[in-house]
Amino acid sequence: MVDNHQYNASSITVLEGLEAVRRRPAMYIGSTGERGLHHLVYEVVDNSIDEALAGCCSRIDVIINRDNSVTVIDNGRGIPVDIHPKEGRPALEVVMMTLHAGGKFDSGTYRVSGGLHGVGVSVVCALSEWMEVEIKRDGYIWRQRYERGKKATELERGEETSETGTRISFKPDEKIFNNIEWNYDVISQRLRELAYLNKGLLISLKDERTEKEEEFIFEGGIVAFVEGLNKNKRVLHNPIYISADSEKMSLEVCIQYNEGYTETVLSFANNINTIEGGAHLVGFRSSLTRVLNEQARALKLLKESDQNLEGEDVREGLTAVISIKISNPEFEGQTKTKLGNPEVRPFVESVMSEKLSEYFAREKDTIRAILQKVVTAARAREAARKAREAARKVTSESITLPGKLADCQERDPRKSELYIVEGQSAGGSAKQGRDRRFQAILPLRGKILNVEKSTLARSLSNEEILAIITALGTGVGDSFDLSKLRYHYVIIMTDADIDGAHLRTLLLTFFYRYTRPLIENGHIYIAQPPLYLVKKGNIERYAYSDNELRNIITEIGEDGIMVQRYKGLGEMNPEQLWQTTMNPETRVMLKVALEDAEKAETMFTLLMGIDVEPRRKFIEEHATFVRNLDI
């Protein structure tokens, strides 16, 4: 390394600061690999960014030179060159040759960055084979050169200029870094991020090795950042932007939900991506969940009996950027990318609560769109939980068949049929009309349909789900076992009206989501009760469609004809039900294919996405869709 003479305790204490940096570079820049190398550029750029934050710098240019030196130019105030009163030498030298000297001059504005480890440009100076600094300040251009942290020339006053700014060129020391090749994309990505995080600041990057160049400037700041993250996604609303300043910190938050299910939340503290999160992120999460819960209750999208939305519900499809700037950041964690400052959390929470609520009070469509999504997510979570619980019960307890089930005598599943019937009265007729040797009947609660509660978990109560699963014998989800199926024919028998269509959709969605192999193996059927009874004298004919009705009328003639329209299964007596719908010799059934169930599931999901009023209309318009399945 630098030199190898023996040290004793006293000689260590007189070690120059920058010697320590060269001895243990990883302590200051994390590593001497690619990450550490690139950290050098970030360190210099961060100093320029501080000038921008102080309102004194509008552009930063970064150039990767052919010899793998890098030049960073800004139009800030320039590093002070006057004689430092305490040190008795140019302030520039103090900045370049003393650890942590970066912010010592500032009193008015707080310097927020100073790099990931807060070490300052002196570390870059120490780890560079050479560094050349050119400062425009106090009417002149000033120049000085350093080599491996030591000054190689005295500070020189050059040409006159009325401009201000700093230009720093440095070449990483190959004695420290085994590879000094810059990765253009790594630098480009970081500079783009910095441009997003510091709105209106122009940052350019040019690679002299390849002639590649880019310019980043985002007037929208983190709003543009979020829009960029949501590019190519369908968004639910305009970005929500919140900002606040206190004496010690300033906060910016931007939120925008998309139609997807993944969460993209980036948090930054002093422009550093806090991958491990920390106080600002915790505050953001908890207040977002709380505000959305409050709004959901206020708008009655969550009823009193409903549980609160949970963190995972509000995260689906959430894209957000949180950026906090604070004068004394405490970075913790494995990679020092977790913000520790305890005062940050309450600050973020109070700002978010107040400003988000205000925003939602103004933007009613936005809060509705968001709540629709998160409430759906909460219900899906609840439905999944119930299904899991039901399945667990089925597998853990010895099977007690549901009380409502009228089982058949047959024990061979291949010959057994289960009719799932809508309503008690139809259930009664079916029980009387069936062939009890091989047909079982499971009646479901009558008025099952309540459009305001059309989620799987709520429309089919826990009890009903449990009854179906226990009757089937298979379990659901992960613990599903087809070989335990007690009936090879599972037949849905519902009324030919809207409620019946809806129940069918619910059941198919249920089978699709939790017992899909039943559909894939062709075990699910839909019964086809007749729509009309046509009577003339002692002729009795059943019509299963309007078309068939017309044909029958043409066939037997219109005179003295009587047509009865069946609105529900309950209008048929047991004998009629058997004859028209249940007798294997004469009945017509639709076998449900996977695509049909998929359609049901899509329709169900769609239904969930529609408000209560339009929903009823939608169901009315689509009520017949399962009836018209192709076979």
Binding footprint of ligand 0RA on the chain (CB under 6 A): 44, 47-48, 51, 74, 76-77, 79-80, 95, 105-106, 121, 166, 168
Which is closer to ligand 0RA, CB of 95 or CB of 326?
A: 95
Six-digit token string for 62? 């970064």
559 a catalytic residue: no
- In angstroms, the Cα distances linking 152 to 120, 312, 421 are 20, 58, 93
Taking the complex as a whole, the smallest distance from the CB of residue 3 to ligand 0RA amounts, in Å, to: 29
Which is closer to ligand 0RA, CB of 164 or CB of 319?
A: 164
Taking the complex as a whole, the smallest distance from the CB of residue 42 to ligand 0RA amounts, in Å, to: 12
Set 129, 410, 422, 601: catalytic member: 422
Set 252, 407, 417, 495: catalytic member: 495
Taking the complex as a whole, the smallest distance from the CB of residue 280 to ligand 0RA amounts, in Å, to: 26
Which is closer to ligand 0RA, CB of 51 or CB of 495?
A: 51
Distance CA 144, CA 157 (A): 9
Which of 547, 540, 541, 544 is closest to 531 using CA atoms?
544
Which is closer to ligand 0RA, CB of 200 or CB of 522?
A: 200
Distance CA 254, CA 320 (A): 5
DSSP states of 403-463 as a string?
TT-B--S---GGG-EEEEEESHHHHHHHHHHS-TTTEEEEEE-SS---GGG-SHHHHS-HH
Residue 526 β-bridge partners: 492, 590
Taking the complex as a whole, the smallest distance from the CB of residue 18 to ligand 0RA amounts, in Å, to: 16
Taking the complex as a whole, the smallest distance from the CB of residue 60 to ligand 0RA amounts, in Å, to: 9
* Start-to-end C-alpha separation, the chain: 81
Which is closer to ligand 0RA, CB of 84 or CB of 148?
A: 84
306 a catalytic residue: no
Distance CA 78, CA 136 (A): 6
Which is closer to ligand 0RA, CB of 166 or CB of 267?
A: 166
Taking the complex as a whole, the smallest distance from the CB of residue 169 to ligand 0RA amounts, in Å, to: 12
Which of 395, 356, 566, 590 is closest to 474 using CA atoms?
395
Which is closer to ligand 0RA, CB of 169 or CB of 515?
A: 169
Name the amino acid, one letter, at 363: E
List the Cα angle 572/575/577 in 5-degree steps: 50
Which of 409, 603, 552 is closest to 487 using CA atoms?
409
3-state secondary structure of 570: helix
Six-digit token string for 183? 């990765």
Distance CA 415, CA 620 (A): 37
499 a catalytic residue: yes
Distance CA 288, CA 175 (A): 50
Set 173, 499, 596, 601: catalytic member: 499
**Is the C-alpha dihedral spanning 229, 62, 186, 211 positive or negative?**
positive
Distance CA 259, CA 370 (A): 10
Question: Radius of gyration of the chain from Cα atoms?
Answer: 37
Q: Look-up: residue for tokens 């198919």?
A: 508
Phi-psi map region of 149: left, alpha, beta (phi>0 left; psi -120 to 50 alpha): left
Taking the complex as a whole, the smallest distance from the CB of residue 238 to ligand 0RA amounts, in Å, to: 37
Six-digit token string for 204? 């350019």
Which is closer to ligand 0RA, CB of 44 or CB of 123?
A: 44
Which of 187, 184, 195, 188 is closest to 60 using CA atoms?
195
SS (H, E, C) 141-173: EEEEEEECCEECCCCEEEEECCCCEEEEEEEEC
Which of 265, 289, 274 is closest to 352 using CA atoms?
289
Taking the complex as a whole, the smallest distance from the CB of residue 47 to ligand 0RA amounts, in Å, to: 3
Looking only at the bridges linking them, the beta strands covering 338-339 and 524-527 are unpaired
Distance CA 106, CA 235 (A): 43
Which is closer to ligand 0RA, CB of 77 or CB of 404?
A: 77
Which is closer to ligand 0RA, CB of 95 or CB of 352?
A: 95
Taking the complex as a whole, the smallest distance from the CB of residue 89 to ligand 0RA amounts, in Å, to: 14
630 a catalytic residue: no
- In angstroms, the Cα distances linking 114 to 51, 121, 167, 499 are 11, 8, 17, 66
Residue nearest to ligand 0RA (CB): 47
Distance CA 358, CA 362 (A): 7
Taking the complex as a whole, the smallest distance from the CB of residue 21 to ligand 0RA amounts, in Å, to: 17
Which is closer to ligand 0RA, CB of 203 or CB of 318?
A: 203
Set 497, 548, 571, 598: catalytic member: 497
Taking the complex as a whole, the smallest distance from the CB of residue 246 to ligand 0RA amounts, in Å, to: 23
**Is the C-alpha dihedral spanning 466, 468, 473, 478 positive or negative?**
negative
The residues annotated with a catalytic role in the active site are 422, 495, 497, 499
